[in-house]
Structure 1
Amino acid sequence: MVSRLNQIKDLQKLIKLTGDRAKLDAKANETYIVYKTKDGQIVKEYYNGTIVPVSDEEVPHA
């Protein structure tokens, strides 16, 4: 049986790999990725490394 700790480590690794892949795709397509920082701020990270906070005006409200 796989331990709970190993499952968590595997999940953390998958999350990191997914983010890394998104950054590679953004670079290849000269676009950006959007994510939430550890501080809770939503940001756009452009392919050139520029990070810009997303303002409330940019977020569509349903």
Structure 2
Amino acid sequence: MHQIKDLQKLIKLTGDRAKLDAKANETYIVYKTAEGQIVKEYSNGTVIPVIGQDVPDA
């Protein structure tokens, strides 16, 4: 049970660090919302959905 809580804490800390790095470098983070939408979040709080043309070819 502690492993799950530890993992959740590490995931949260990783996200927080990514936000700090994005702010320091004046860029954004990309993540998938609970609804399944991929979004860009800027350090000022602006969240923009990523649409098909923004996704690079694999």
Tell whether the structures are fold-level matches, with TM greater than 0.5: yes
> What residue is the counterpart of 1:44 in the other structure?
40
- Establish whether residue 11 from structure 1 lines up as the match of residue 18 from structure 2: no
> What residue is the counterpart of 1:31 in the other structure?
27
The structure with the larger Rg is 1
Segments of structure 1 that go 5 or more residues without pairing to the other structure are none
Segments of structure 2 that go 5 or more residues without pairing to the other structure are none
Superposed CA RMSD in Å reads 0.6
Percent of matched pairs sharing the same residue: 79
Following superposition, the deviation at residue 47 of structure 1 comes to: 1.2
Q: Distance in 1 between matches of 2:53 and 2:17?
A: 28
Q: Secondary structure at the residue paired with 1:24?
A: helix
Q: TM-score, normalised by structure 2?
A: 0.96
Task: Count residues with an aligned counterpart.
Answer: 58
- Establish whether residue 55 from structure 1 lines up as the match of residue 55 from structure 2: no
Detail structure 1 runs of 4+ shifted over 6 Å in the superposition.
none
Q: TM-score, normalised by structure 1?
A: 0.90
